[in-house]
């Protein structure tokens, strides 16, 4: 037992660490015990290069797996019923201490019926042959001098159906050749090697890979044109808008370009190589097929191309290849770089198939039962799933609470704050609580036009658009009228009014350009509705924020951009405004002790409850969501019943 497991770990880490052999660490490996009764196999979803003695594998009873494969009940079952039976049967075949939630590889069946050591991989050079229209003939030509030639396995899906096909063809091969095939090329899938020892299996991998090094066709010379940043940003918005109009979903878009992408776009047949359809199950599941080839960059043209795919029952891909610009990946932020790397690999594969009749796609009906494109990450019950938001003052107090609340609701959050370290701490809080979310830290001075623009440029460059803008940064210099320094007055005007204006203006320009609507939310205050004593700058600016929002609502309504305000009551937790000095001023104002200030303010509410940051965040989430789709120019007052809107 120990020997077989150690051998599995050794060959798995060996091939897993060689990036020419694996893509995204996909593939599977198995080693049987000497008596053939047990098989150690890579666990489903585990990484080959991180397998160890404690994790990344399952031990199966070989006879149980073979019996399951040969089950008449399984053969006659419907697709859904068969899937349940397979999952239950493979778990029952496991004989180890691992949790039942850890499934063995979906390909356990063909591993069970082959030799002692089996390695299944997806090297690019093998994929190029396996995914070419003339792939089988090319394979036969490559290995023409072999006494025992490789076996070609026509595509038959994954898992059970693939194993049924392999079993039949291997049985025939064994009758003709006197032994099982050592090398197998799976059409539209990859490589299988079959040997008696780990060393022999690894040698077979090297032999097959070296033999299949097909030279890619030379690409046309493409001039290195300096990237037009504004043109790229315009394309990002157009693609995001087209996806929204075509499928009604919010997507994140990120731009990529390098020598390899440029070389592919320079091929004379680049458009043909990007023909719809996936050439492997992995390409279907990860990318929904080849990138969509775009020559005319405008929302209407891209929208039409997307609609044509939808009308033909073809999935919208996770990437768009724009002539003269590069690759635009539509993926969740945490998956964007990986998605782009997948596209680079499959561009190389498709380019190489050009010398072998071009790529051969898998019919959609053969893919539907096995995978579903997963470029974006949707969280159940997340009302703002995949929405892109920016929150100012996100490093502390209400800004932080709102940012966390939006992330909990499924949005990706750009955290804008003049204190970048504080914003980074908010990002860490979100990451720890909501690993599936994503954040951008923006070192932003909301009173500086260039700083604001740089922040929005970073959002576009990383995520491709914007759906929600929350103005929450603010200050509250507390002075009586006669003691108010003019510099404190001007500082409040700059941060609380100019800052809101600059952020809203930049956000509105993006939202108008991407034609997807949006939500702008000003965090005002109950003091904007009902003035408070010794608070001239705060009273004036918070009232001004309300009236600015009402005017913006009138201006932007035709673009389906909604503008609303939230007027919180006194929120003490984590607030920079409610600092010891401010509390001391309030104590003097009401003739009470500093420690009595917070209970005093709470007692002024109808509910007699302290208002928390999450209470305000919930109001913002509501106004940003489709539940508030007909609400604009309005004021929501989460103050526990202190000020009643008149």
Question: What's the mean pLDDT when you consider all of the chain?
Answer: 92
Burial of residue 365 (CB within 10 Å: 0-12, 13-18, 19+) is exposed
Rounded CA gap, 137 and 269, in Å? 22
Examine the pLDDT at 78 and tell me if it is beyond 70.
Answer: yes
Residues 241 and 190 reside in one and the same domain: no
Of 42-56, 296-310, 331-345, give the lowest mean pLDDT range. Answer: 296-310
Q: What is the mean pLDDT of residues 411-428?
A: 97
Q: Is residue 15 part of a domain?
A: yes
Strand runs labelled E in 127-262: 151-153, 183-186, 190-195, 253-256
Provide the CATH number for the domain around residue 429: 3.40.50.720
Q: Same structural domain for residues 46 and 169?
A: yes
Give the pLDDT confidence score for residue 266 in this predicted structure. Answer: 87
pLDDT of residue 507: 98
Whether residue 27 is found in the same domain as residue 176? yes
**How far is it between the farthest Cα atoms of the chain?**
103
pLDDT over 70 (residue 535): yes
Is there a contact between 548 and 500 (Cβ–Cβ < 8 Å)?
A: yes
Mark whether 190 and 130 lie in a shared domain. Answer: yes
Q: Are residues 420 and 558 in the same domain?
A: yes
Residue 597 lies in a domain: no
User: What pLDDT digit, counting tens, does each position of 120-137 carry?
Assistant: 999 999 999 999 999 999
Flag whether 218 is in a domain.
no
Q: What is the pLDDT of residues 537-567, one digit of tens each?
A: 999 999 999 999 999 999 999 999 999 999 9
Q: How far is the C-alpha of 15 from the C-alpha of 22, rounded, in Å?
A: 7
Asked whether residue 292 is domain-assigned, the answer is yes
Cβ neighbours for 110, distance < 8 A, ≥ 6 positions apart: 118, 120, 162, 163, 166, 167, 192
Domain that holds residue 237: 229-367
Q: What is the mean pLDDT of residues 21-37?
A: 90
Same domain, residue pair 166 and 270 = no
Say if residue 16 is in the same domain as residue 157: yes
- Of 500, 472, 503, nearest to 576 by C-alpha is 472
pLDDT of residue 44: 92
Query: Which tens digits make up the pLDDT trace of 293-322?
Result: 998 888 888 888 888 888 887 889 999 999
Both 111 and 145 in one domain: the answer is: yes
Total length of the chain: 646
Q: Kindly state whether residues 150 and 198 are assigned to the same domain.
A: yes
Mean pLDDT of 207-234: 78
Beta bridge partners of 320: 292, 328
Same-domain check for residues 567 and 459: yes
Give the start-end residues of each E strand in 353-492. 388-392, 412-417, 439-443, 468-471
Asked if residue 434 is part of any domain, the answer here is yes
| pLDDT at position 572 | 82
Cα–Cα distance between 133 and 128 in angstroms, integer? 10
- Known catalytic residues? 538
Taking 70 as the threshold, does the pLDDT of residue 378 lie above it? Answer: no
Q: What are phi and psi of 134, to 5 degrees?
A: -105, 30
Residue 456 pLDDT: 98
Q: Is the pLDDT of residue 224 over 80?
A: no
d(CA 110, CA 118): 9
Least confident piece of the model among 38-42, 155-159, 425-429, 498-502: 155-159
Predicted confidence at residue 556, as pLDDT, reads: 98
In a domain, 583, yes or no: no
Q: Is the pLDDT of residue 381 over 90?
A: no
pLDDT over 60 (residue 370): no
- Decide if 607 is inside a domain: no
- What is the spatial distance between Cα 157 and Cα 529, in angstroms, rounded to a whole number? 64
Beta strands in 398-488 (DSSP E): 412-417, 439-443, 468-471
Could you give the C-alpha distances from 111 to 40, 163, 405, in angstroms and in order? Answer: 10, 9, 47
> Do the domain assignments include residue 415?
yes
What's the confidence (pLDDT) of residue 16? 93
pLDDT for 222 equals 58
Counting the structural domains of the chain, the total is: 3
In angstroms, the CA 274 to CA 277 distance is: 9
- Residue 373 has a pLDDT of 47
| CA dihedral sign, ordered 259, 261, 262, 264 | positive
| Secondary structure of 542-590 as H, E, C letters | HHHHHHHHHHHHHHHHHHCEEEEEECCCCECCCCCCCCHHHHHHHHHHH
How much is the average pLDDT of 54-80? 93
**Structure confidence at residue 352 as a pLDDT band (50, 70, 90):** very high
**Using CA atoms in the order 434, 439, 442, 443, what is the torsion angle rounded to 10 degrees?**
40
- If asked whether residues 206 and 245 sit together in one domain, one would say no
**255 and 191, same structural domain?**
no
Report DSSP state, residue 356: G
Q: Give CA–CA dist 411/389, Å, rounded.
A: 7
HSE at residue 396, side-chain half, CA atoms within 13 A, is: 15
Find the range with the poorest average confidence among 410-419, 465-474, 475-484.
475-484
pLDDT at 640: 86
Cα(237)–Cα(390) distance, integer angstroms: 16
The pair of three-digit structure tokens given for residue 154, joined into one six-digit string? 């026509």
What pLDDT sits at residue 18?
A: 92
CATH of the domain at 42: 3.40.225.10
Determine what percent of the chain falls in helix, strand and coil, rounding each to the nearest 5. Answer: 50, 15, 40
Q: What is the mean pLDDT of residues 612-619?
A: 93
Instruction: Collapse the DSSP code of 318 into the 3-class scheme (helix H, G, I; strand E, B; otherwise coil) and give the result.
Output: coil
Contact residues for 139 (Cβ-Cβ < 8 A; gap 6+) = 129, 150, 152, 185, 212
Q: Is 380 a residue whose pLDDT tops 60?
A: no
User: What are the φ/ψ torsions at residue 145 (nearest 5 degrees)?
Assistant: -90, 0
Band of the pLDDT at 90, cuts 50, 70, 90? Answer: very high
The mean pLDDT value for 334-362 works out to 93
**Amino acid 376: pLDDT:** 53
pLDDT for the residue 646? 59
- In the chain, % of residues over pLDDT 70: 96
Sequence-distant (6+) residues with CB within 8 A of 567 are: 524, 525, 526, 528, 529, 542, 546, 635, 636, 637, 638, 639, 643
Q: What is the mean pLDDT of residues 155-160?
A: 91
């Amino acid at each position: 037992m120990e020997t077989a497991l150690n051998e599995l770990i050794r060959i798995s880490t060996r091939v897993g660490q060689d990036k020419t052999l694996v893509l995204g660490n996909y593939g599977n490996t198995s080693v049987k015990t000497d008596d053939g009764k047990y098989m150690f196999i890579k666990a489903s979803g585990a990484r080959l290069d991180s397998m160890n003695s404690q994790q990344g594998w399952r031990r199966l009873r070989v006879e149980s797996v073979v019996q399951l494969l040969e089950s008449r009940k399984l053969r006659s079952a419907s697709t859904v019923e068969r899937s349940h039976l397979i999952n239950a049967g493979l778990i029952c075949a496991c004989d180890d201490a691992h949790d039942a939630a850890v499934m063995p590889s979906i390909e356990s069946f063909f591993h069970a019926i082959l030799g002692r050591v089996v390695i299944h991989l997806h090297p690019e050079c093998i994929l190029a042959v396996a995914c070419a229209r003339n792939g089988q003939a090319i394979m036969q030509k490559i290995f023409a001098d072999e006494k025992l030639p490789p076996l070609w396995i026509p595509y038959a899906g994954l898992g059970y159906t693939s194993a049924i096909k392999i079993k039949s063809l291997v049985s025939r091969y064994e009758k003709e050749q006197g032994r099982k095939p050592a090398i197998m090329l799976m059409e539209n899938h990859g490589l299988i090697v079959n040997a008696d020892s780990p060393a022999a299996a690894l040698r077979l991998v090297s032999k097959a890979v070296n033999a299949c090094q097909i030279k890619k066709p030379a690409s046309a010379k493409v001039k290195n044109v300096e990237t037009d940043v504004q043109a790229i940003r315009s394309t990002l918005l157009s693609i995001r808008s087209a996806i929204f109009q075509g499928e009604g979903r919010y997507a994140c878009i990120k731009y990529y370009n390098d020598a390899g992408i440029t070389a592919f776009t320079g091929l004379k047949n680049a458009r043909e190589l990007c023909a719809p359809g996936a050439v492997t199950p992995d390409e279907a599941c990860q990318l929904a097929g080849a990138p969509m080839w775009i020559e005319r960059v405008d929302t209407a043209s891209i929208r039409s191309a997307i609609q044509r795919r939808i009308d033909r029952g073809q999935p919208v891909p996770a990437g768009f290849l724009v002539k003269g610009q590069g690759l635009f990946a539509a993926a969740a932020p945490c998956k964007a770089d990986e998605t782009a790397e997948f596209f680079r690999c499959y561009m190389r594969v498709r380019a190489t198939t050009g010398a072998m009749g071009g790529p051969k796609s898998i019919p959609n009906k053969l893919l539907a039962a096995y995978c579903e494109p997963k470029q974006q990450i949707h969280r159940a019950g997340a009302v703002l799933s995949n929405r892109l938001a920016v929150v100012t003052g996100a490093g502390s107090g209400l800004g932080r609470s709102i940012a966390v609340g939006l992330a909990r609701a499924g949005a990706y959050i750009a955290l804008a704050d003049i204190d970048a370290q504080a914003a980074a701490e908010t990002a860490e809080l979100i990451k720890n609580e909501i690993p599936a979310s994503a954040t951008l830290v923006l070192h932003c001075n909301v009173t500086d036009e260039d700083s604001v623009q740089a922040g929005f440029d970073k959002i576009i460059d990383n995520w491709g658009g914007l759906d929600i803008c929350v103005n929450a940064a603010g200050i509250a210099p507390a002075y009586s009228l006669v003691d108010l320094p003019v510099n404190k007055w001007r500082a409040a005007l700059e941060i609380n009014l100019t800052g809101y204006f600059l952020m809203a203006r930049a956000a509105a320009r993006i939202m108008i350009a991407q034609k997807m609507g949006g939500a702008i939310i000003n965090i005002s205050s109950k003091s904007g509705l009902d003035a408070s004593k010794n608070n001239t700058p705060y009273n004036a600016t918070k009232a001004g924020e309300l009236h600015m929002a009402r005017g913006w609502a009138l201006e932007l309504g035709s673009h389906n951009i909604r503008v609303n305000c939230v007027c919180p009551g006194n929120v003490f937790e984590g607030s920079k405004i409610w600092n010891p000095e401010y509390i001391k001023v309030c104590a003097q104002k009401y003739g009470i002790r500093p420690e009595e200030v917070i209970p005093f303010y709470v007692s002024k509410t109808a509910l007699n409850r302290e208002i928390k940051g999450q209470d305000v965040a919930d109001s913002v989430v509501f106004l940003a969501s489709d539940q508030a789709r007909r609400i604009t120019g309005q004021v929501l007052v989460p103050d526990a019943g202190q000020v009643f809107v008149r």
